[in-house]
Structure 1
Amino acid sequence: MIKNIQDTTTLNNGVKMPWLGFGVFKVEDGQVVVDAVKSAIKNGYRSIDTAAFYDNEQGVGQGIKESGVPREELFITSKVWNADQGYESTLQAFETSLKKLGLDYLDLYLVHWPVKDKYKETWRALEKVYKEGKVRSIGVSNFNIHHLEDLLKDSEVKPVINQVEYHPHLTQVELREFCEKQEIQLEAWSPLKKGILLSEPAIVEIANKHQKTPSQVILRWDLQNKVVTIPKSIKEHRIIENANLFDFSLLEEEMEKINSLNKNDRTGADPDNFNF
Structure 2
Amino acid sequence: MTRSALFEKLALHAPHLSGRHAIPALPAFIYGTAWKKGATSDLVYEALSNGFTAIDTAAQPKHYREDLVAAGIHRAIKDGKIKRSEVYIQTKFTSVGGQDPDNMPFDPKSPLADQVKASVISSLQNFNFADVVAEGEAQYIDTLVLHSPMPTLNETLEVWETLEQFVPSEIRNLGISNCNLFTLMDLYERARIKPTVVQNRFYPSTKFDIGVRQFCKEKNIVYQSFWTLSANPGLVGSNETRSLANQVGISPQSALYCLVLGLGNVTVLNGTKSVQHMQEDWNAVKTVKEFAQSHPERWDAAVASFRRLIGQPKP
Question: Partner of 1:200 in structure 2?
Answer: 238
Are residue 46 (structure 1) and residue 53 (structure 2) matched? yes
Structure 1 residue aligned with 2:75: 66
Equivalence for 1:36: 43
Give 1:159's aligned amino acid.
P
The AA in structure 1 aligned to 2:310 is: N
Map 1:216-227 → 2, pairs under 5 A:
216-226=254-264, 227=266
1:83-138, CA deviations, whole angstroms, 9 ceiling, x for partnerless residues? 1793221111111122234451111110010112221111011111114x101111
Measure the CA separation in 2 of the matches of 1:246 and 1:231: 16
| Aligned residue among 197, 214, 217 for 1:177 | 214
Unaligned residue ranges in structure 2 (runs of 5+): 16-22, 97-105, 130-138, 293-298
CA distance in 1, matches of 2:27, 2:187: 25
Structure 2 counterpart of 1:230, from 257, 264, 269: 269
Q: Secondary structure at the match of 2:92?
A: strand
2:27 aligned residue (19, 22, 37)? 19
Which whole-Å deviations, capped at 9, do the CAs of 1:64-100 have from their partners, x for residues lacking one?
A: 0111322111100001112179322111111112223
Q: Distance in 2 between matches of 1:79 and 1:237?
A: 28
The count of aligned residue pairs is 259
Q: Match of 1:248, as an amino acid?
A: V
2:56, 2:89 within 8 Å by CA — same for their partners in 1? yes
3-state DSSP of counterpart to 2:278: helix
Q: Which residue does 1:81 correspond to in 2? A: 94
Aligned-residue offset at 1:263: 7.5
Pick from 161, 167, 174: which aligns with 2:197?
161
Structure 1 residue ranges without an equivalent (≥5) = 265-276
- What SS does structure 2 have at the residue aligned with 1:159? coil
What's the secondary structure of 1:18's corresponding residue?
Answer: coil
1:32-86 CA-to-partner distances (Å, cap 9, x unmatched) read 1111111111112110111122321111111101113221111000011121793
TM-score (norm 1): 0.85
Tell me, in whole angstroms, the C-alpha distance in 1 between the residues paired with 2:301 and 2:204: 15
CA distance in 1, matches of 2:201, 2:25: 19
Question: Is 1:136 the equivalent of 2:183?
Answer: no
**Equivalents in 1 of 2:95, 2:25: separation in Å?**
25
Structure having the higher Rg: 2
Identity of aligned residues (%): 22
Return the alpha-carbon distance in structure 2 between the equivalents of residues 96 and 24 of structure 1: 18
TM-score (norm 2): 0.75
Q: 2:305 aligns to what? A: 257
